[in-house]
Amino acid sequence: MAEAMPKQTERGLLVFAIWATLGAAGLCFTLEGLSRDALMLALAGTGAVVAAFVAHMIVNWVYGQGFTRGEATLGIGAYGLLALVFVLAWLSGGVDRAGYLAGLAFFGTLGFGFVAYLAARHGLRGTFSQFHVHGSATGEPK
């Protein structure tokens, strides 16, 4: 009889499957919308990325976990890199109206979702504590 898969492996495979399908669909819709100057297609891409984020949170809830450090680092890093590319493209004049509106919708929606997730998971005071450097970390008394 086959042994059961460890919970961490099972969760990791589910998260990978979510991002491989919905994340790839979001990327495809966004790129196609930007290439055709079609705002609704680009917004469909944003919707697919939001759906992947929500599905990832549901998997985390089912398995009683939060985001791993690697997932959080990858997500925040990708968000920052994409924001940098968007700003540089906008400053160089390479963004049309649909791309500009799609970018604002994408970054605004994901930024709001990130803050909403932290507030729901840790409460408003706990959300601030996630970013506040405690005195013990800096060598100062608390």
DSSP 30-83: HHHHHHHT-HHHHHHHHHHHHHHHHHHHHHHHHTT----HHHHHHHHHHHHHHH
pLDDT digits (tens, 9 = 90+) for 37-60: 899 999 999 999 999 999 999 999
Q: pLDDT over 90 for what percent of the chain?
A: 58
> Can you count the helices (H) and strands (E) in the chain?
6, 0
With residue 28 as reference, give the H or E element that holds it.
helix 24-36
Supply angle C-alpha 76, 49, 131, rounded to 5: 25
Interatomic CA distance for residues 94 and 108, integer angstroms: 20
Q: Which two tokens stand for residue 93?
A: 């004049």
Quick one: tokens of 129? 């504590």
Cβ atoms 44, 106 nearer than 8 A: no
Residues 69-114: pLDDT tens digits?
999 899 889 999 999 999 999 999 888 888 999 999 999 998 898 8
